A and B are shown apart, each in its own frame.
Chain A
Amino acid sequence: MTYFLDSFKEAISLLTTFDQEVYGIIVLSLFVSFSSTVVATLIGVPSGLALGLNEFRGKAMLTRIIYTMMSLPTVVVGLTVAILLSRRGAFGSLELLYTPAAMVIAQTVLVTPIITGIVFNASKANGEEVKRVCKTLGGNSRDVIWLLVAELKINLLIAVVTGFGRAISEVGAVMIVGGNIKYHTRVMTTYIAMNNGMGNYSKALAMGLVLLLISFIVNTVLYHFGMEASDDH
């Protein structure tokens, strides 16, 4: 226990000394996960809404595939993206492997099904009703979309935050496609894994604390919006 406490103290001091490398890693992590969440949102929200509101052949199958992809193992995603981006892969000529761009791509693949799935679930429950109300009150298809976004606001927010949480905390995909290169592709989770492997527990723990803090802030924001939504006006 004292060992843990000592690590904890060391962790705090590491953070308060504003170590350049540590802060670079935090910024890169936020940048990569934020970018991938934005791209995944742009793809996942419209797809989820479309899936929830339309009936078509093969929908049951597609739904099952998306649900399965929501829990894709991160290393599988990493591996697949790495193969595609490797020199002899389909996109090898782009020379993206071991760059932050590759990490964004891998995390986007990871997060898109999560956002799509959550949005799909939400729009399945209320979407049809919202669409009818909008139509019968005189709205056109564009009005329907805006009203859906407004009515499902909380669900969309939950989807995005859940996606971001998954991205920022995963280690498998970024490790494989990024390679944990110092000052280049090293992010919080790969830093933790590496320092753990080298026995630098206090460094690993310090970064773990930062991750926890970020997740706490994100959840606080979510909770705040959730409360606001359930409040009487």
Chain B
Amino acid sequence: MIIEINSVKKIYRNRCVLNIPSLTLAQPVIYGVVGENGAGKSTFLKLIAGLEPVSQGEISYNGKPLSAETIKQITYVSQSPYLLKRSVYDNIIYPLRLRQVPENEAHTRVEKMMAMLQIESLRDRGAHRLSAGETQKVALARALVFEPEVLLLDEPTANIDSDTIALIERVLKDRKGMMTMHISHNRDQVKRLCDEVLHLSKGELLTTEY
């Protein structure tokens, strides 16, 4: 899997918040995305996920421009995820239902995922009543469960306790042969987890060492 970014700009109300002349991202790698608040990190990931249109330039995935079809393999977990107004279990199984995965198999995969992230106890809880950390874990499970080729995580461990952070990092490291991009404000975590670092500042990529 290879993501190519070509003279991409994102402009909000006459203000350019992201400007990336040329960048190629290739697997299998965990990319860290770092930079100050407002640097354009979330915007960057949303563009790659196809959730925001680029104002200029183009992004391609495996040689094809982003489209409804190509973004099926790319998923974005927001820094404040929206969970559906249904149970935790039903949230996590949702992407499998969208893909018409047979019910038995889907069930097994959801159970496995909940066990992996240690959220079995939340199984039947209403997802809209969870704590911030619980919400992030459920959103992560919902993204991991369909094994996307490209996983875009926006500060996924911001509200998580340190034991669970270690757990999540192990899970992410286990995504063999897949690409992960991970926004983080934690320098140690980036050093621990990421193979490469993209440093954004004021919408531009810095080439200096992080």
The residues of A with any CB-CB pair to B shorter than 8 Å are 126, 129-130, 132-140, 143, 147, 150-151, 153, 229, 231-233
Distance in angstroms between the alpha carbons of A129 and B84 in the assembled complex: 10
> Which residues between 34 and 76 of chain B lie within 8 Å of chain A, taking CB atoms?
49-51, 68, 71-72, 74-76
A139 CB, nearest partner CB in chain B, Å: 5
Of the candidates B50, B68, B94, B126, which one forms a contact with A137 in the assembled complex, judged by CB atoms under 8 Å apart?
B94
B71 touches A135 (CB 8 A): yes
A136 touches B51 (CB 8 A): yes
Known contacts A135-B71, A136-B75, A151 near B51 by CB under 8 Å: no
Residues in A whose Cβ lies below 8 Å from that of B50: 135-136
Of the candidates B72, B84, B125, B126, which one forms a contact with A133 in the assembled complex, judged by CB atoms under 8 Å apart?
B84
A105 CB, nearest partner CB in chain B, Å: 36
Distance in angstroms between the alpha carbons of A133 and B129 in the assembled complex: 18
Known contacts A232-B129, A233-B126, A136 near B85 by CB under 8 Å: no
Residues in A whose Cβ lies below 8 Å from that of B129: 232
Mark each residue of chain B from 142 to 165: 1 if its CB lies under 8 Å from any CB of chain A, else 0: 110010000000000000000000
Distance in angstroms between the alpha carbons of A136 and B142 in the assembled complex: 11
Of the candidates A129, A132, A138, A151, which one forms a contact with B98 in the assembled complex, judged by CB atoms under 8 Å apart?
A138
B124 touches A137 (CB 8 A): no
Interface centre among A132, A143, A229, A233, by most chain B C-beta atoms within 10 angstroms, is: A233
Residues in A whose Cβ lies below 8 Å from that of B126: 231-233
B146 touches A137 (CB 8 A): yes
Q: Is the interface of A mostly helix, strand, loop or mixed?
A: helix
B51 touches A132 (CB 8 A): yes
B137 CB, nearest partner CB in chain A, Å: 16
Interface centre among B49, B85, B95, by most chain A C-beta atoms within 10 angstroms, is: B85
Of the candidates A133, A134, A153, A233, which one forms a contact with B87 in the assembled complex, judged by CB atoms under 8 Å apart?
A233
B51 touches A139 (CB 8 A): no
Closest to B68 in A: A140
Question: Is the CB of B191 closer than 8 A to any CB of chain A?
Answer: no
Distance in angstroms between the alpha carbons of A209 and B195 in the assembled complex: 73
Residues in A whose Cβ lies below 8 Å from that of B146: 137-138
Q: Can you sample 27 A-B contacts with CB below 8 Å? A: A130-B84, A132-B51, A132-B78, A132-B82, A133-B82, A133-B84, A135-B50, A135-B51, A135-B68, A136-B49, A136-B51, A136-B75, A136-B76, A137-B143, A137-B146, A138-B75, A138-B95, A138-B98, A138-B146, A139-B98, A143-B98, A150-B85, A151-B84, A151-B85, A232-B125, A233-B124, A233-B125
Question: Is the CB of B86 closer than 8 A to any CB of chain A?
Answer: yes
Question: Is the CB of B99 closer than 8 A to any CB of chain A?
Answer: yes
Residues in B whose Cβ lies below 8 Å from that of A138: 72, 75, 95, 98-99, 146
**How many A-B pairs with Cβ below 8 Å?**
55
A233 touches B86 (CB 8 A): yes
The residues of B with any CB-CB pair to A shorter than 8 Å are 49-51, 68, 71-72, 74-76, 78, 82, 84-87, 94-95, 98-99, 124-126, 129, 142-143, 146
Closest to B86 in A: A233
Residues in A whose Cβ lies below 8 Å from that of B74: 136
Residues in B whose Cβ lies below 8 Å from that of A151: 84-85
Residues in B whose Cβ lies below 8 Å from that of A229: 85
Residues in B whose Cβ lies below 8 Å from that of A233: 86-87, 124-126
B87 touches A137 (CB 8 A): no
Distance in angstroms between the alpha carbons of A129 and B82 in the assembled complex: 7
Distance in angstroms between the alpha carbons of A143 and B87 in the assembled complex: 19
Closest to B146 in A: A138
Of the candidates A130, A140, A143, A150, which one forms a contact with B82 in the assembled complex, judged by CB atoms under 8 Å apart?
A130
Taking A150-B84, A150-B86 as known contacts, 6 extra A-B pairs with beta carbons closer than 8 A to each other, sorted by chain A number, are A126-B82, A136-B74, A136-B75, A139-B98, A153-B85, A232-B129
Distance in angstroms between the alpha carbons of A139 and B69 in the assembled complex: 10
Distance in angstroms between the alpha carbons of A137 and B90 in the assembled complex: 13
A82 CB, nearest partner CB in chain B, Å: 44
Distance in angstroms between the alpha carbons of A64 and B84 in the assembled complex: 30
Closest to B127 in A: A233
